[in-house]
Amino acid sequence: MGAHHNRSDGERERLPYDLPPIPEYVEDEYVEDDYSKDEYAKDEYVKDSVGVSTVAASVDNELPPIPEYVEPESADDVIEEEEKEVPPIPDYLTPEEEEAADAREEASESRRTWLRSVLEFVGLLAIALVVSVVIKTFFIQAFVVPSGSMETTLKPGDRIFVNRLADSPDDIERGDIIVFSDPNNWLSAPADDGESTGLGSFISRTMETVGLLPADSGQHLVKRVIGVGGDTVECCDVQGRMSVNGVALDETYLDPGIAPSDFDFSVTVPNGQLWVMGDNRGNSNDSRQHHEMDGNGFVPNSHVVGRVWSVFWPYEEMHVIESGRDVFKNVPDAK
């Protein structure tokens, strides 16, 4: 075997010349030629992820922006928008048609106005009736003075208000003017004038009942209280005066020249009863006459309607009734 040179694994045979270094790889630059970019883009196809071929967009043109998501309008919004956008349909009326329409509108408004007026009147009348009945029943009632027995304190035809709350023995005192119902046929039956069944009489009675008209005094009387239960009433002393429980009275409510009584008397009033007299003593059919005729000249407290409060008609005579209690201020209570 020829000479053989053993080389270690790490040794290499030196070449008679040095090899140049291997140049690094440089990517070839695109050299633009007559084949333009636009034409290249038009002919180039690419595959997408699902294998569908799409045409690549031009490298010089940008893709349009993706529009933002807009919430679709609801059906109600669309309807409202359409209603707003639709203009009203104009009315095309002839002058005659317009005149007829105006006349119908005026007639309809007139009927509505009339109906409202009727309803208001009926409502007010109902309220007035209710209020009047309540007032008459519990508070105040109007009466007409029928005669001259109380002149000149009260004159025939005067309209008076009576306080119905003052009808008990605790409310009625000596000197008060009261209205009371006929206790024992003091009044003769009213004459029948033939109109009691007429419409006018019916309306008058109805309005008197509800208190819209003053009640006449067909079954009522108006007098002044002189004595209450237990009192002794006498007339007349040596000076012609009347006395109660031994105290002579100076009756200032009598007109000058009016005598306290045309005849003498002396009575003791039973408990629960009243002794009454008119201010016009010579023209008053009161407790004196009925006591002399039938021995029953007293008025039960239960017959009292109330105390006279004022005169409200005639207008020029309107005034509050002055109390006559001062005349009896020195009279002691009955024993």
Report pLDDT digits (tens) over 49-64: 444 444 444 444 556 6
Provide the 10 A C-beta neighbour count for residue 132: 19
pTM of this prediction? Answer: 0.58
Say if residues 181 and 174 touch (Cβ distance below 8 Å).
no
User: Which of 223, 261, 284, 287 is flagged as catalytic?
Assistant: 223
For residue range 285-313, list pLDDT tens digits in order: 999 999 887 777 999 999 999 999 999 99
Note if the bond before 236 is cis, omega within 30 degrees. Answer: yes
| DSSP annotation string for 256-318 | TT--S-SS-EEEEPPTTEEEEE-SSGGG---HHHHHHHHS---EEGGGEEEEEEEEEESGGG-
Structure tokens at 76: 């109600």
Angstrom distances, CA of residue 203 to CA of 200, 208, 209, 212: 5, 8, 10, 11
Q: Which of 149, 217, 261, 284 is catalytic?
A: 149
**How many angstroms separate the CA atoms of 203 and 186, rounded?**
27
Q: What percent of the chain has pLDDT over 70?
A: 61
Asked if 335 is an active-site residue, the reply is no
Model confidence band, residue 8 (pLDDT cutoffs 50, 70, 90) = very low
Average pLDDT over residues 147-170: 92
Q: Is the model's pLDDT at 119 over the cut of 80?
A: yes
pLDDT at position 90 over 70: no
Maximum separation of any 2 CA atoms in the chain, in Å: 205
| Mean pLDDT confidence for 180-208 | 62
Specify the DSSP class assigned to residue 142. Answer: E
Asked: is 142-187+198-328 a CATH 2.10.109.10 domain? The reply is yes
Question: Helix, strand, or coil here: 209?
Answer: helix
Phi, then psi, of 302 in degrees rounded to 5? -70, -15
pLDDT (average), residues 164-190: 86
Confidence of residue 150 (pLDDT cuts 50, 70, 90): very high
Question: pLDDT at residue 176 above 50?
Answer: yes
Structure tokens at 101: 């329409």
Q: What's the rounded Cα separation, in Å, for the pair 143 and 161?
A: 7
pLDDT of residue 213: 52
What is the mean pLDDT of the segment spanning 224-246?
A: 95
pLDDT for res 48: 43
| pLDDT reported for residue 67 | 67
User: Does 24 score more than 90 pLDDT?
Assistant: no
In percent, the amount of the chain with pLDDT more than 90 equals: 40
Active site residue 149: yes
**pLDDT: which is higher, 190 or 119:** 119
Of 74 and 126, more confident:
126
Cα 149–327–167 angle (5° rounding)?
65
What is the predicted pLDDT for the residue at 126? 76
pLDDT value of position 3: 46
Cβ proximity of 150 and 279 under 8 Å: yes
The rounded Cα 141 to chain-centroid distance in angstroms is: 25
At 42 the pLDDT is 47
